[in-house]
Structures are given as structure tokens and as C-alpha cells.
Chain A
């Protein structure tokens, strides 16, 4: 008899590890009857998992960290059990702003973050209104980092608003926001609706940026190690399956179905393979490592990732940064990951913390198999973050 377990998700392409764990049978292999329940907003999904309506959830990486810092939502503490996806976002601007930038000579090369950021800030010197899916999101973190590094006073000079991705095109058209950062396929859809153009892939700002995570209540993960372990292994195998390029067509077909994204499979496959429509003329660009599920220990919950997110949020909100870094690191449960995936072939990095942003190229690192390569994860401006607090 399989053990029942309910997990929540937002219908997005990066919910794929949960969907595949169920549909390809990895959950069943682990003796789990995995039920997936969709939610319409991140706030609702956060409440569902923290109030115990679901055991685990697809979540924006910064949400559990923000909760640990006492920001947003007051329910039970959430832990990050593993990373579900890396990268996958794109930045765009309204058609009106694109025209101003083009007139000022910006080539819309979809590549140079310095030129694009300067052109963007120059086009709207009196303050830019930017839409992101959630106040605590990889999207917001990328934007703050990018424009802050280019000299914008962060956060006060930017007006960052929450706009659910399905409503982004409408918010652009209504002039509520002039720029946005969203995941696939919403950027492309904003372009196709005529409301905007894409300016940069998220990877132009940071080359390897953890995006969605598997979150669970801290108390549940501690009290139910057996169930948590089964879930983590099933999802890790789904991530490995998704990391094989030949499976992306099948994955797209499955995700396209009604209980999941209910979106044409072709659109999903384009997103999974990093093909983005960037202009209204239909120009397509391929972004390497656009949505990454497995390569380079992508699923490993680095404590330093939690510390970095916490440090940035604390800096913006005036909290004590060293204390926040320690809280953030605690949220990312590399200890549970090591424990529960020990029975798999998952290659574990030797350390659980690293200097975030330090790798300017793909780099082999110490691991039991000796074959682990961590992908380049540098920021465009050379920023590095040492979780021990040295700056």
C-alpha cells in the first residue's frame, strides 16, 4: 500500500519535477501515492504548505528565507529540501519604453546586461516601475542586483510591484509597469500580445541562479524523515530524467495536460529548451541553460544560497545582516539532502557552502565520484558572496 502524500504547485514549466515524479512513476517506485494540487498564487501555496493542507510545495527560493526572517506570511517555518530548477527568467520592457531605448541607440542584442541596464535607467530617469511575480522571488533578486550594480539606489529608486505573470501583459498595456521579469512562457506571451519586448535573459545577470525549490514545513521534515526521504528521492530522479534532453518532448506533452499547465505542448517545449521570442517581429533567441533541472548538482540546496538570499533581503529591509545570513543558511537543508539521497547515485559536492558567484567557468570540484562539475555561476558585475561574512 502506497503512502499518500499531497504536494502543491503553481502551473508553471518549472513545476516539472513534481509532475514528472508522479506521471513517470518515480513517486510510485518509492511507494508514494503522490497527489498534486494546483494553487493560483504563491501566497496561497505558501499558506497551504505552512498550514498543513499540503505536505510539500513548489516554491520560489526566497519565500522560505523571507519567512525565516519574519517577512511575509506568519505560518510555520518552511525548509528548503532541494532545488527544483535553476534559471528560467527573462526581463522585458513595454513597447513604449522599447521605442525610447531603441531611439537612444540600444541595439536590443539580448546579451549585454550593462548596456541594457544603462539604457533602461536612462529611458526612465524619474523612476522605473517593474513587475515581478512576487515580492520575494528570484525575479526581484535579479532585478535589484542588476540595477543596483549599475548605480540605481536600491530599493528606493525602483518601484517593484507584484503582478501575477498571467496578468503581466495587461499591466504593461495599462501602463501599471514599464518593465518586468518573469519566467517562461510569460515573457514570450507578453511579446506576442504586443505589450512588450524582451531585453535580457536572467542568465545575463547571473549565469546559474537557483529559481524554484521543494519546500516543506520544518516540523514535518523532522517528524517524517521516511516520507520526506521518499519524496526527495522521487523528485531527484524526476530532475535527473528532465536533465536528459531527449525527454523534453515527452515532458512537454505531460505538462501540457489539463490538470497541469493546460497550455499547448509546443509552447512548453520551446520554454524548456530555452527558445524565447524576443521581439514582435518574431525574432527567436536560444538561451543556454535557460531552465536547468539537473546539470552541475542543480538540485543541491547550498546553505550559502540561503545565506545570500537572506543577506540581500536584510540589506534592503534594514535587518541585521549577519543574523539573517545564519537564518538563511539554516533554511537550506543540505544535511537532509545528504542523508536522504545517500541511497541514490546523486553526486554530492564535498562542501555544503560555497562562495556564491565565484565560478567564471564550469569547474570540476571534489565529490565522491570525482566527476562533478559545477557550472559557472558568476554575476555580470563580478560580485561574489562569501557566506562566512567576509566582504
Chain B
């Protein structure tokens, strides 16, 4: 067996996979393979017989790796979930970042750490991006609702746009709720009354 650790990254999204591979290459000299197709996942991983498998915790295919931890035949290489021998909170940090690792049994911790550090940093970035995207979508959605509520007020009360916005904002402040919630109520009520 060569001394280089072999890593499999399970990732369907090509761009993300490339980013993970780059991070791992920066962290050390590893053999990195990407599997993007989940059909027959555990069989293909067994064939490749890696030292470490990295998988996104938001992917349902993680359960397919679970049976690798149970392989117990004499010819099987035991694969353990990283959580098994972790004292330093590395597993917790990994799960929080959104990645979980399956590591071949008996692999030394100092050999795994750089891999995990790189993966954790990268997945942190992914979850940040995901959160930002969600926030942007939400903001866009709220703006649309506020625009519709403004339009309703302008039509119903003959206000101009600034006055309609000021009225919405004042109502929100008086009731101690979010502007978008006032707008949503107005739009819903108008829908019911129309």
C-alpha cells in the first residue's frame, strides 16, 4: 500500500467538488477521487477501498455509507465513522460545518487532522454561501410583498409611494412587528376581500 492517503469525496455538484478537491490538494499530498453519482455508492466505495470518505451532511446519500461501518467479514477493511475516536471536538466541528467523514479503522489522528481541517474550512464556506443565498431570496421576497402592499395603499387611499411606505412603517413600529409582516397581512387581507 502506498503511503499516500486516498480520499473519496461524495459530491454531486461539480463546482463544489472541484473546490473541495482544491482545498484538499492545498492541505497535503493525497489521492482524491470524486464520486458524483449516488447509484451503487457503497459498492463503488468498497471497490476503491479508500482511507477517508467525505460526504455532505445535507445529502441523503450519507445513509448509504453507513453500511460500510458495519462490514465485518474477514476480507473487509473496517471503516469507522470519525465520531468513534474523537476527543478534540473535530467530529462536532465537522458536522456543524456540514461535512461528515468516514475513516478507515486505525488511521492515526495526526494524519486525518489536516484533511478534516481543510474539509471543515471549505464546508463552512459552503454553508455561509447557502445562508447568504437564502437571506437574499428572503429579502427579495419581502421587497416584492412590500411593493404590493404599497401599491394597494396607493390605490385604496390615494397616497403617493413615499406616503404609503411611511404608513406601512409607522404601523409596523406601532405594533412592534416587522415591516414585511404588516405588508404580508395587508396583501392577505386584500386577497380575502377582493
Q: Mark A26-54, 1 if CB is under 8 A from B, else 0.
A: 00000000000001111110011011110
The stretch that binds A, out of B18-26, B54-62, B128-136, is B54-62
The stretch that binds B, out of A164-172, A220-228, A243-251, is A164-172
When C-beta atoms are compared, the residue in chain A nearest to B64 turns out to be: A162
Centre residue among A53, A162, A164 by max chain B CB count within 10 A: A162
Contacts of A53 in B (CB 8 A): 92, 95-96
B57 touching A72 by the CB < 8 A rule?
Answer: no
A51 touching B67 by the CB < 8 A rule?
Answer: no
A40 touching B62 by the CB < 8 A rule?
Answer: yes
B84 touching A164 by the CB < 8 A rule?
Answer: no
The chain B residues found within 8 Å of chain A, CB to CB, are 38-40, 42, 57-67, 69-70, 72, 80-81, 83-85, 91-92, 95-96, 100
Size band of the interface chain A makes with B? 20 to 34
Contacts of B81 in A (CB 8 A): 43, 47, 72-74
At the interface, yes or no: A255 with Cβ under 8 Å from chain B? no
Which residues of A64-96 have CB atoms within 8 Å of chain B's CB atoms? Answer: 71-75
Contacts of A1 in B (CB 8 A): none
Report the Cα distance A379→B72, complex, angstroms: 30
At the interface, yes or no: A134 with Cβ under 8 Å from chain B? yes
B62 touching A75 by the CB < 8 A rule?
Answer: no
Chain B interface mostly helix, strand, loop or mixed? helix
Residues A72 and B69 in contact in the complex (CB < 8 Å), given A43-B62, A163-B64? yes
Report the Cα distance A42→B42, complex, angstroms: 16
Residues A75 and B83 in contact in the complex (CB < 8 Å), given A41-B59, A41-B63, A133-B63? yes
A43 touching B95 by the CB < 8 A rule?
Answer: no
Contacts of B65 in A (CB 8 A): 43
At the interface, yes or no: A312 with Cβ under 8 Å from chain B? no
A40 touching B59 by the CB < 8 A rule?
Answer: yes
A170 touching B66 by the CB < 8 A rule?
Answer: no
Which residues of A176-219 have CB atoms within 8 Å of chain B's CB atoms? Answer: 176
B63 touching A161 by the CB < 8 A rule?
Answer: no
Contacts of B84 in A (CB 8 A): 74
B63 touching A162 by the CB < 8 A rule?
Answer: yes
Contacts of A134 in B (CB 8 A): 63, 66
Can you list the 5 inter-chain pairs with the closest CB atoms, starting with the nearest? A74-B84, A164-B60, A41-B62, A41-B63, A44-B57
Contacts of B91 in A (CB 8 A): 47, 51
Q: Mark A262-285, 1 if CB is under 8 A from B, else 0.
A: 000000000000000000000000
15 chain-A/chain-B pairs, Cβ below 8 angstroms:
A40-B58, A40-B59, A41-B63, A43-B63, A44-B100, A47-B91, A72-B70, A72-B81, A74-B80, A75-B83, A135-B66, A161-B67, A162-B64, A164-B61, A167-B61
